[in-house]
């Protein structure tokens, strides 16, 4: 029998050692049945590949069968070749079928997704934030630059001259009292220095530097010597606006302020001007806006339905002169927006001290 054993079988314990008896056709039938059983039982694609190598690989069963053909009697050769090929085709087909079924089972398992809970909290997204004052400042800058205003910057440590004298507030002027100024000393300097009490000093600095007509805004930090509480800070942010042109009237000022408020509150806002005293404008106004938060009084407007929003006025002729402009030829208007206040209104912030306090729990909210 041994001499009839034509094919070499890999020396593997799980492969039944057998020497196919009878003719080659019978032999391949047994091998096929055997192999099919193993394919059906194969647990994964890897096992299938192993079976594939054993049977149809370079040195596999089919190759051995084909190699043995020349030694067969001529009348058997054709049949042996055919059955070897049939074996190969049948095994490959069985493997393919089994592989497809294994694949879909894996997909099914993936689709079952046992134990998944979509309501588990996701990881926290860490993010950075822009300070709310920056955000509101940018919004206003964009609004104003779209209307041809420049954005200017000015020093926080300012000369008395620009903060007061050139703004028509001489040394003995009672308005100086209401400004609660931080006066400063700088080693080696004899200049009269202070922390600017408003962004208005940039009015004269702008007139000195720019050719009229021009339009400008100046966002920035300002300082007042006062006791702090939830609604008072010694440091806060303002935005100055200045328009210098010929024949500028109170009517233009009202028009510009209404445009500004539409930009801020995104709706038409009724305004009223009433006299307000600021030495660097004449006439000077307080601009009240109809409370955007209520119709019949609320805590923001202190039940009056008006909120005092911004001081403004026509630039005082003395200020024009201080800036080197001829008040007979040039005029203009100026306004001051309380940025800190606007930020508080916008977000409903109840304590102004949060703005510069640097508390992460505050900053993280914007």
Residue ranges that bind Zn ion, judged by CB under 5 A: 291, 293-294, 298, 300-301
Rg (CA), the chain: 45
User: Residue 294 binds what, of Zn ion, another protein, none (CB under 5 to 8 Å, by partner type)?
Assistant: Zn ion
Q: 33: closest CA among 20, 49, 47, 46?
A: 20
Query: Could you say which of 75, 177, 268, 350 contacts another protein (CB under 8 A)?
Result: 177
Our CB check for another protein shows the closer of 60 and 132 to be 132
**Chosen from another protein, Zn ion, none, partner binding at 148 (C-beta under 5 to 8 Å by type):** another protein
Site residues (CB under 8 A) for another protein, limited to 201-260: 213, 221, 223, 225, 227-228, 234-235, 237, 243, 245, 247-252, 254-256, 258
- Least Å distance, CB 119 to another protein, is 25
- 20 vs 311, beta carbon nearer another protein: 311
298 binds, among Zn ion, another protein, none (CB under 5 to 8 A by kind): Zn ion
63 binding partner (options another protein, Zn ion, none; Cβ < 5 to 8 Å by kind)? none
Q: How far is CA 312 from each of CA 150, 169, 334, rounded to the nearest angstrom?
A: 18, 16, 6
Q: State both tokens at 75.
A: 């009348």
Q: Min. distance of Cβ 324 from another protein in angstroms?
A: 16
Binders of another protein in range 28-57 (CB under 8 A) = none
Minimum CB distance to another protein, residue 157 (Å): 5
Burial (0-12, 13-18, 19+ Cβ within 10 Å), 120: exposed
Which H/E stretch holds residue 310? Answer: strand 306-315
Query: Please, what is the minimum distance in Å from the beta carbon of residue 241 to another protein?
Result: 12
Residue 82 vs 145, nearer CB to another protein = 145
Cis peptide before 283 (omega within 30 of 0): yes
Long-range Cβ contacts of 123-130 (<8 Å, 24+ apart):
129/363, 129/364, 129/365, 129/366, 130/366
Q: 74: which 2 tokens?
A: 């001529």
How many whole angstroms separate alpha carbon 331 and alpha carbon 271?
Answer: 23
Q: Which of 164, 280, 285, 335 binds another protein (CB under 8 A)?
A: 285
Tell me the C-alpha distance between 143 and 134, whole Å.
14
Query: Does residue number 262 form part of the binding site for another protein (CB under 8 A)?
Result: no
Is 101 an interacting residue with respect to another protein (CB under 8 A)?
A: no
* By the rule CB under 8 A, 186 interacts with another protein: yes
Q: Rounded to whole angstroms, how far apart are CA atoms 349 and 342?
A: 10
- Total residues contacting another protein (rule CB under 8 A)? 87
Nearer to Zn ion, 216 or 310 (CB): 310
Q: For residues 366, 348, 216 and 260, what is the CA-based torsion angle, rounded to 10 degrees?
A: 120
328: number of CA atoms within 13 Å, CB side? 0
Instruction: Single out the residue of 305, 311, 308 nearest to residue 277, CA to CA.
Output: 311
Residue 234 binding result from another protein, Zn ion, none, given CB thresholds of 5 to 8 Å by partner type: another protein
Question: Which residue of 114, 188, 266, 299 would you call a contact of another protein, by CB under 8 A?
Answer: 188
> Between 38 and 280, whose beta carbon lies closer to another protein?
280
Site for another protein in 286-345 (CB under 8 A): 286, 314, 316-317, 327, 331
Stretch that binds another protein, among 12-20, 35-43, 67-75, 173-181 (CB under 8 A): 173-181
Task: Return the sign of the alpha-carbon dihedral for residues 343, 348, 354, 359.
Answer: negative
Asked whether position 347 contacts another protein by CB under 8 A, the answer is no
Q: Which of residues 109-148 bind another protein (CB under 8 A)?
A: 126-131, 133-134, 138, 141, 145, 147-148
**Closest CA relative to residue 199, chosen from 127, 133, 146, 151:** 151
Token pair for 273: 């001007």
Q: Is 274 in the site for another protein (CB under 8 A)?
A: yes
3-state SS, residue 86: helix
- Pick between residue 217 and residue 291 the one whose CB is nearest to Zn ion: 291
């Amino acid at each position: 029998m041994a001499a009839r054993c034509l094919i070499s079988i890999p020396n593997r314990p799980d492969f039944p050692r057998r020497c196919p008896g009878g003719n080659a056709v019978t032999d391949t039938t047994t091998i096929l049945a055997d192999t099919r059983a193993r394919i059906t039982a194969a647990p994964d694609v890897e096992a299938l590949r192993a079976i594939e190598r054993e049977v149809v690989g370079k040195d596999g069963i089919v190759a051995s069968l084909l190699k043995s053909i020349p030694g067969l009697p001529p009348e058997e050769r054709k049949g042996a070749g055919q059955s070897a090929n049939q074996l190969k085709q049948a095994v490959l087909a069985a493997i393919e079928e089994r592989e497809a079924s294994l694949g879909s089972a894996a997909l099914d398992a993936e689709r079952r997704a046992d134990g998944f809970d979509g309501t588990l909290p996701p990881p926290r997204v860490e993010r950075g934030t822009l300070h709310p004052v920056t955000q509101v400042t940018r919004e206003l800058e964009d609004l104003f630059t779209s209307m041809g205003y420049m954005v200017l910057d000015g020093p926080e440590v300012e000369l008395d001259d620009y903060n007061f004298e050139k703004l028509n507030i001489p040394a003995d002027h009672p308005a100086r009292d209401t400004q609660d100024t931080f006066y400063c000393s700088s080693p080696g300097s004899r200049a009269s220095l202070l922390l600017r009490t408003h962004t208005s000093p940039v009015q004269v600095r702008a007139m000195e530097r720019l050719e009229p007509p021009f339009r400008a805004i100046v966002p920035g930090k300002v300082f007042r010597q006062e006791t702090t509480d939830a609604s008072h800070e010694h440091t806060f942010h303002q935005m100055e606006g200045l328009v210098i042109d010929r024949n500028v009237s109170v009517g233009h000022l009202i028009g510009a302020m209404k445009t500004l408020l539409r930009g801020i509150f995104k709706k038409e806002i009724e305004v009223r001007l009433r006299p307000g005293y600021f030495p660097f404008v004449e006439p000077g106004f307080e601009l009240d806006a109809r409370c955007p938060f209520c119709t019949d009084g609320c805590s923001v407007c202190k039940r009056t339905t008006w909120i005092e929003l911004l001081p403004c006025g026509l630039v005082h002729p003395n200020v024009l002169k201080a800036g080197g402009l001829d008040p007979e030829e040039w005029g203009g208007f100026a306004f001051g927006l309380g940025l800190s206040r606007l930020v508080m209104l916008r977000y409903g912030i109840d304590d102004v001290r949060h703005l510069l306090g640097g508390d992460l729990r505050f900053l993280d909210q914007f």
